[in-house]
Copies of this chain bind each other. A is one copy, B any other.
């Protein structure tokens, strides 16, 4: 059956009221807070229908209604009205991010900004190595038999690794190795480096072959395979606002936030285009994270997604506001990265 227009209005009103008051909403308060043009009794009929269809739910008889996850889903998909940031907020975003001098700086500022704007927990993934390419490789001798390998990517990430060499490497060899590595690898996407790396040893001159073998192994292991995703987090203190948001304990949430793997899974599906992704309640298949929603999106210069960013909060969150904030910040971060 086609859903009546008013019923949708009612659902929207319920979600909005519930989000702002944090309390089950009843028919009377609905009619008094919104001008729906009909009486409470009529609303009650609609509410009964909405409940049958699974969009709202009654904690107990004689309590108001609370949106179900299905209800939130319908709300974000079809009902929510865009709530753009205020001018002041936009200006703050620009001003704050413009001051960044550095990839680290950009990421840190972004995550703090996002936490502040949404008053929730913000998560920003550093540009993924797998979507970057090599810009430069540097070999720094630390001692006779120790080298530090530094890799800089086109996305601005700097990764390093200390390497114990099997035998002393004279400075001239270091220069040669460094030169070869850069000649062969600069510009190559990290996903494609393994093929190139395999050829390095064969093509190396006799003197440096052994050293190159060690380097290749480390390169493969550390920089490529281990994938080294990095993540920045901010705003965990916001979890304590309305502490009862998180039924019972926020323990599982804090645990999840410390687990990089889980976080990445949450940001997850930001690959496809610059689409904004919303995951409501147990849609994220993670234990203990029913009760939390994630609003995330990809970012990256010129349409190319290099990483994800987003916000974690209670299912009962202000979706329109959060969506705007995430979208705006992602867009602006992308611009900044494009400039570099």
- By a beta-carbon cutoff of 8 Å, the part of chain A in contact with chain B is 101-103, 135-136, 138, 140, 142, 146, 148, 150, 152, 156, 158, 160-162, 222, 234-237, 239-241, 243, 249-251, 254-255, 257-258, 340
Would you give the shortest CB distance from A243 to chain B, in whole angstroms? Answer: 7
Cross-chain contact of A102 among B135, B162, B340 (Cβ < 8 A): B162
**A101 engages B156 (CB within 8 Å):** no
Name the B residues within 8 Å of A136 (CB-CB).
Answer: 140, 148
A254 to B251: give the CA distance in the assembly, Å.
13
State the Cβ distance, A225 to closest chain B Cβ, in Å.
Answer: 13
Q: Which B-chain residue is minimally distant from A162 (CB atoms)? A: B102
> Is B101 touching A161 in the complex (CB atoms < 8 A)?
yes
Q: Is the Cβ of B162 less than 8 Å from the Cβ of A140?
A: no
- In addition to A135-B140, A152-B160, A237-B254, 5 A-B residue pairs with Cβ atoms within 8 Å of each other are A101-B162, A101-B222, A138-B138, A150-B152, A236-B257
Smallest Cβ-Cβ distance to A250: which chain B residue: B240
CA distance A235 to B255 in the complex (A): 8
Q: How many copies does the complex hold?
A: 2
Give every chain B residue within 8 A of A158 (Cβ-Cβ): 148, 150, 158, 160
8 A-B Cβ contacts within 8 A? A102-B162, A103-B162, A135-B142, A156-B162, A158-B158, A236-B257, A240-B251, A243-B249
Residues on the B chain within 8 Å of A150, using CB: 138, 150, 152, 158
Q: Which residues does chain B contribute within 8 Å of A142, judged by CB atoms?
A: 135, 340
Closest 9 CB pairs of A and B: A237-B254, A240-B251, A237-B255, A136-B140, A158-B160, A236-B254, A138-B138, A240-B249, A237-B251
Residues on the B chain within 8 Å of A103, using CB = 162
Residues of B with C-beta under 8 A to A236: 236, 254, 257-258
Tell me whether B135 and A152 are in contact (CB under 8 A). Answer: no
Smallest Cβ-Cβ distance to A104: which chain B residue: B160
CA distance A160 to B152 in the complex (A): 10
CA distance A221 to B212 in the complex (A): 37
The answer on a CB contact under 8 Å between A239 and B254 is yes
What is the CA–CA distance of A240 and B160 in the complex, to the nearest angstrom?
35
What distance in Å separates the Cβ of A246 from its nearest Cβ neighbour in chain B? Answer: 10
Q: Which residues of B lie under 8 Å from residue A258 when comparing CB positions?
A: 234-237
B residues within 8 A CB of A140?
135-136, 138, 152
